Amino acid sequence: MADTRRAIHAYLSDDAHEAWHEFAAENGVSVSGLLEAMGVRFAERLRDGEAADAELDALTRAARKVDAARRRRSRT
């Protein structure tokens, strides 16, 4: 784990915000701990050339939809 930390900021829907905190609480971890562990693991998988599994593919597709919807809203 890095000795220094950097902030990450995101605007989430109320449902997504609640889901992150609920998942973290149920598993006895923090949201920042989840994000750090996931980011490191995703980077390792890309570096090692691991193929994305069905769950990661589904998450990526969902993220693209969220991003596209936000871009459409910001143009209006």
pLDDT tens across 1-60, in order?
567 889 999 999 999 999 999 999 999 999 999 999 999 998 998 899 887 788 888 999
Contacts of 52 (CB under 8 A, 6+ apart): 45, 60
Residue 43 is assigned to a structural domain of this protein: yes
Residue 1 is assigned to a structural domain of this protein: no
45 burial via Cβ count (<10 Å: 0-12, 13-18, 19+): middle
For residue 18, give the amino acid letter. E
Contacts of 33 (CB under 8 A, 6+ apart): 24
Residue 4 is assigned to a structural domain of this protein: no
Number of domains present in the structure of the chain: 1
- pLDDT, residue 52, reads 77
- pLDDT, residue 51, reads 79
Range of the structural domain that residue 51 is part of: 15-75
- pLDDT, residue 1, reads 58
